[in-house]
A = this chain, B = another copy of it.
Amino acid sequence: MKLYYIPISGNAYKVRILLSLLKVPYEKIAIDNARKEHKQPAFLKLNPRGEVPVLEDDGSVVWDSAACLVYVARKHGGEQWLPAVPADMAQVMQWVALAGNEIQFGLQYARRGVLQGRWTAGTLEQGQAMSRVALAALEGRLKNNEWLALGRPTIADIACFPYVETAPEAQVPLDPYPGVVAWLARCKALPGWAAREV
């Protein structure tokens, strides 16, 4: 399995976390963010969206972090990380969707803007407002539960983790969300949790 990634990308980090938790061997291929290698024709053939992560495995190519998590969880994770029971799968996928929506366009967007100066979908304030919608939804669940979906860690937690942990880099303080802060620590304490590279 090959993972195309950018070290600072939280979306690629999600896939590294799951591969590490499941002890799946893989080859990392770093994409040069400074040279915008992911927007060049060679990479666009792999992913028309021009984003990392991308997985190549057994002749198939999977782009999008949520789809990569689904692929790895179903191929290597049994029923633990993404169960097949419809109601359970849906509980996991609703938080994965939050990660691709309010977390992506809130916490990821504001962080990228602060760190890289790119503002393509609104202002810092708008990104921070959407961040607070995401964090309120997470806190509502995590103030009384250890994990986002079901009673155990799933890809819901992995999908939401990276850009919640970096909320301070988006200038969004986490102090109002004690349940979220405790959950971040709980995630990182899972055996095999991957460290960030940047």
- A residues lining the B interface (CB < 8 Å): 48-50, 57-58, 60, 62-68, 70-71, 74-75, 84, 86-87, 89-91, 93-94, 96-98, 100-102, 104-105, 120-123, 126-127, 129-130, 133, 136-137, 140-141
Contacts and interface: CB of A to CB of B under 8 A. Distances in A.
A67 B90 contact: yes
B105 A121 contact: yes
B48 A74 contact: no
Contacts of A66: 93-94, 96-97
Contact of A49 (B50, B60, B89, B98): B98
A89 B102 contact: no
A97 to B, nearest CB: 4
A64 B84 contact: no
Which 9 pairs of residues, A with B, have the shortest CB-CB distance? A71-B90, A122-B122, A67-B94, A74-B86, A75-B86, A48-B137, A64-B97, A67-B93, A64-B94
Contacts of A75: 86-87
